Structure 1
Amino acid sequence: MPTPDLNLLVALDVLLTERSVARAAKRLRLSPSAMSRALARLRETTGDPLLVRAGRGLVPTPRALDMRERVATLVQNGQAVLRPVEALDLKRLACVFTIRATDGFAEYVGPALIARLEKEAPGVRLRFMQKPDKDSAPLREGVVNLEIGVIGPTTGPEIRTQALSRDRFIGVVRQGHALTRGKITPERYAAGRHVMVSRRGLDHGPIDEALRARGLERQVVTIVGAFTTALALARATDLIASVPEQYTANLRVGMFGFPLPVPTDTITVSMLWHPRLDADPAQRWLRSCVREVFLASTSVGGQRRRQRKG
């Protein structure tokens, strides 16, 4: 069976409304002969006359009357689908956005982000999802609207990204720790007892490689899956935590931070999303909120650090 021409639905809707080939042609900006050909094709497709002559006008057949409401609904729905997206009304927006990120993001950016969303779009809720890996499947499957993190080799090639900030790792200890006094050398740093962060449970990383290049090795006492856990342990013990400086600014209040005594690469924290969400107005608004709040939080954290140094 050949696929029907769906354009005929628009012609049928207008013909059933106007009940005149001439008026239907004028409304659709067609010639009367083109409109007559459309009616002929409709009759051939449906196997029914649809509109028959009655005096000077046309009257619908029982089949046409039965189809009239369904045809009108189909045309209206089709026009709604193809109509340009209306301006986003944040006050009426009601949905749940899921953000996949490490727990530090929720504590670092969460309060300011929630406050902004409550002010601009009170019907919006945020769901923060743990990020145990860098797999792009949750973005592809639509489980997650937005992901925050460092782009890795497992990030899907189709995933859209936007950099938020560049960060560096620093060492962090409790106040009163031995490293709060005197110069922190690679030897003193390596000689301490360390808590390492690895979502995959690895017992070495870039810092260990940098130490090894100097013939040094640090003692990793425990491995945890989150920076918040590492900082909590370092705050309560003599363990040394190595964490991103900006990303953990709010979590390190009252602790002593210091530049690592060995060179390590900076990291770029980015937003990631699936391309199907690229043009959606609500999704674009969410991304702009996250970016602006993240940058504002980073700026505030930098000002606080400069004030403490001053």
Structure 2
Amino acid sequence: MSDLNLLLTLDALLTEGSVAGAARRLRLSPSAMSRSLARLREATGDPLLVRAGRGLVPSPRALELRERIGPLVQEAQAALRPADALKLDKLEREFTLRTREGFVENFGAALLARMASEAPGVRLRFVPKSDRDSGPLRDGSVDLETGVIGSTMGPELRTQALFRDRFVAVVRDDHALARGRLTAKRYAAGRHVAISRRGTAAGPIDDALSTLGLSRDIAVTVAGFAEALALARGMALIATVPERHTGHLRAGLTSLALPLALEPFTVSLLWHPRMEGDAAHRWLRGCVRDVCTAQPASVAHRAPSASSSR
């Protein structure tokens, strides 16, 4: 029997003043209650209830415990009951979201508006996602994270798909690629901005080009989407970025579907399982999911050609 059950048994015995009454209260047999009383006597080193005639009377130690046990049992039972229904209008809490650049620019305003209308006391803190380390979710410094699920993700993490995305080529309107049919050869021949958080330019785009016997002319490598798009906006460079994740960042630029055999990818929401049952955290996850689902995907100005040939 657990310590909490012993406390419940002791509370029932002291309240009823009899083994039979306590047994009825806890829906136990009299023999089971007698065994529990024996365990309580052994644990406390006191007889607790002493026979007097046909009944039982509490010992001085039992009278002392009766004043303390009742509130303890009530607190324990309250702690183990399901949490009260979440009252969003009364919720005061701060959540930390770790995302790559582009998420706040595209989804941040809609997310804040949704939260302000439902839970004005909730605050958000966005922090940059510089790697795929799951440590911040594990240690609690981050509540939620967005990203593409990879092999380095902790196996215990919970995930939920938010949206599908694909890479597009982005140039300014006066760039040569903004006119005419985009082919893999024309795409590869242009000067490119490569994006790599680790400083290495090669990636899935280069692998797809390599299968066609092509390679990019990389003029510069940067760490993020916003930097790549800023350079493409200011110079005759090609930035290849995720379409939905960079929607607002690409405003005023020409976006082109890639003439390459690249599979779309899924951006997901990640959190630690200890937050699974937290009502406020569950509400926040729903807000992020709804906002990302409602945000329409921007359409590339050019459809890819039927062939990926040069």
The one-letter amino acid of 2:235's match is T
Q: Which runs of 5+ in 1 are unaligned?
A: none
- The residue correspondences of 1:101-250 to structure 2 (distance < 5 A) are 101-250=99-248
Structure 1 residue 53 displacement after superposition: 5.2
String of CA shifts for 1:103-126, please: whole Å, max 9, x gaps. 211111111011111111122211
CA distance in 1, matches of 2:216, 2:27: 80
**Matching residue of 2:65:** 67
CA distance in 2, matches of 1:114, 1:123: 12
**Matching residue of 2:10:** 12
Secondary structure of the equivalent of 1:26?
helix
CA distance in 1, matches of 2:272, 2:2: 34
Structure 1 residue 150 displacement after superposition: 0.6
Q: Which runs of 5+ in 2 are unaligned?
A: 304-310
CA distance in 2, matches of 1:262, 1:4: 64
**Matching residue of 1:253:** 251
TM-score by length of 1: 0.87
Between the two proteins, what is the percent identity of the paired residues?
A: 61
The one-letter amino acid of 2:267's match is V
CA distance in 2, matches of 1:308, 1:172: 11
Structure 1 residue 151 displacement after superposition: 0.9
The one-letter amino acid of 1:256's match is T
CA distance in 1, matches of 2:208, 2:9: 73
CA distance in 2, matches of 1:216, 1:306: 23
Secondary structure of the equivalent of 2:180?
coil
The one-letter amino acid of 1:223's match is T
Instruction: Kindly indicate whether the alpha-carbon contact (under 8 Å) linking 1:4 and 1:45 is maintained by their aligned counterparts in 2.
Output: no
Structure 1 residue 31 displacement after superposition: 4.3
RMSD: 2.6
Q: Residues 154 and 4 from structure 1, CA distance in 2 versus in 1: closer, same or farther, beyond 3 angstroms?
A: closer
CA distance in 1, matches of 2:115, 2:302: 31
Structure 1 residue 141 displacement after superposition: 2.4
CA distance in 2, matches of 1:223, 1:62: 80
Q: Residues 69 and 203 from structure 1, CA distance in 2 versus in 1: closer, same or farther, beyond 3 angstroms?
A: farther
Name which of structure 1's ranges 210-219 and 125-134 shifts more when overlaid on structure 2. Answer: 210-219
The one-letter amino acid of 1:164's match is L
String of CA shifts for 1:64-114, please: whole Å, max 9, x gaps. 344334423432233223323332222222222222210211111111011
Structure 1 residue 6 displacement after superposition: 3.9
Structure 1 residue 258 displacement after superposition: 0.8
**Matching residue of 1:26:** 24
Structure 1 residue 19 displacement after superposition: 3.3
CA distance in 1, matches of 2:199, 2:75: 52
Secondary structure of the equivalent of 1:172?
strand
Secondary structure of the equivalent of 2:41?
helix
Q: Residues 307 and 242 from structure 1, CA distance in 2 versus in 1: closer, same or farther, beyond 3 angstroms?
A: closer
Instruction: Kindly indicate whether the alpha-carbon contact (under 8 Å) linking 2:255 and 2:300 is maintained by their aligned counterparts in 1.
Output: no
**Matching residue of 1:291:** 289
Structure 1 residue 143 displacement after superposition: 2.4
Structure 1 residue 183 displacement after superposition: 2.5
**Matching residue of 2:77:** 79
CA distance in 2, matches of 1:177, 1:54: 101
CA distance in 1, matches of 2:118, 2:2: 46
Secondary structure of the equivalent of 1:103?
coil
Q: Match for 1:98 among 92, 96, 111? A: 96
String of CA shifts for 1:117-169, please: whole Å, max 9, x gaps. 11111222112121111122222222222221111111122222222222110
CA distance in 2, matches of 1:33, 1:213: 79
CA distance in 2, matches of 1:12, 1:190: 80
Secondary structure of the equivalent of 1:119?
helix
Instruction: Kindly indicate whether the alpha-carbon contact (under 8 Å) linking 2:257 and 2:300 is maintained by their aligned counterparts in 1.
Output: no
**Matching residue of 2:306:** none
Instruction: Kindly indicate whether the alpha-carbon contact (under 8 Å) linking 2:171 and 2:253 is maintained by their aligned counterparts in 1.
Output: yes
CA distance in 2, matches of 1:93, 1:107: 26
